[in-house]
């Protein structure tokens, strides 16, 4: 019961924290001047893209965190952070289509053919849209086991997001490489866990079987 009470106030707090980057950006934009730099649209594109990637990485970090702590509460925040990744991804797309390209579709189509990193980003956003749409309990019941298989696409989305960032940056690769390393660590934390867990379960089962046989023979 205490865990539920704790999560009752933790979730709204995390929700507000996830909105903080947007609130700060809006405050800077409404404040005028050069708070968003000499090219505000470019800054908005950069920030919205960064927060999309950050939310994705935070979402992926919750399962290893839950295992490390031995507590389930990080998993309860996973859907919220995943939806915020989708939210910032849609903002990123909106800034590009509306503010950067003024809904000039011939120019946008030309971008898609001339800049492959935009195609990579679009594919990631389409996949994110599918995961956001099917994130409800109703869809979990409909898809059953296939739901987990579908939502493993979050790993591919994160890889595409990092690739989009790496491809976009032309000079200083340090920042996207930092995110690539973080993603690599998160993926590495997940890979051995399943094998270790299965091996541990098999060891426990084998030990139990030996104990039962020993008990039977001693009788």
pLDDT(1) > 50: no
Which residue from 62, 61, 42, 50 is spatially nearest to 22, judged by alpha carbons?
Answer: 50
DSSP string, 70-109: T-SHHHHTHHHHHHHHHHHHHHHHHIIIIIITTT-HHHHH
Question: Rounded to whole angstroms, how far apart are CA atoms 84 and 51?
Answer: 9
pLDDT(32) > 50: yes
pLDDT(101) > 50: yes
Going by pLDDT thresholds of 50, 70 and 90, the confidence category of residue 8 is confident
pTM: 0.84
- HSE (CB half, 13 Å, CA atoms) of 17? 12
Find tokens 């009788």 and name the residue: 219
pLDDT(113) > 70: yes
Per-residue model confidence as pLDDT tens digits over 66-92: 988 888 888 999 999 999 999 999 999
Angle (CA) 65-18-132 rounded to 5° is 80
pLDDT(94) > 80: yes
Per-residue model confidence as pLDDT tens digits over 148-182: 999 999 999 999 999 999 999 877 889 999 999 99
């Amino acid at each position: 019961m205490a865990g539920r009470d704790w999560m009752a106030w933790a979730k709204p707090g995390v929700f507000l924290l996830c909105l903080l980057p947007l609130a700060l950006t809006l405050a800077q934009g409404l404040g005028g001047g050069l708070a968003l730099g000499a090219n505000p649209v470019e800054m908005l594109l950069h920030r919205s893209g960064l927060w999309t990637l950050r939310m994705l990485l935070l979402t992926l970090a919750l399962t290893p965190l839950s295992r490390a702590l031995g507590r389930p509460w990080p998993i309860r925040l996973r859907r919220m952070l995943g939806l915020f990744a989708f939210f910032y991804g849609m903002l990123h797309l909106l800034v590009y289509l509306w503010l950067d390209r003024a809904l000039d579709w011939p120019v946008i189509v030309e971008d898609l053919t001339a800049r492959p990193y935009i195609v990579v980003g679009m594919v990631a956003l389409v996949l994110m849209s599918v995961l956001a749409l099917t994130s409800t309990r109703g869809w979990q019941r409909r898809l059953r086991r296939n739901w987990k298989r579908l939502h493993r696409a979050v790993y591919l989305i994160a890889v595409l997001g990092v690739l989009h960032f790496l491809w976009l940056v032309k000079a200083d690769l340090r920042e996207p490489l930092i995110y690539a390393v973080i993603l690599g660590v998160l993926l590495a934390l997940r890979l051995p866990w399943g094998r270790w867990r299965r091996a541990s379960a098999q060891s426990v089962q084998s030990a139990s079987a030996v104990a039962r046989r020993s008990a039977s023979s001693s009788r």
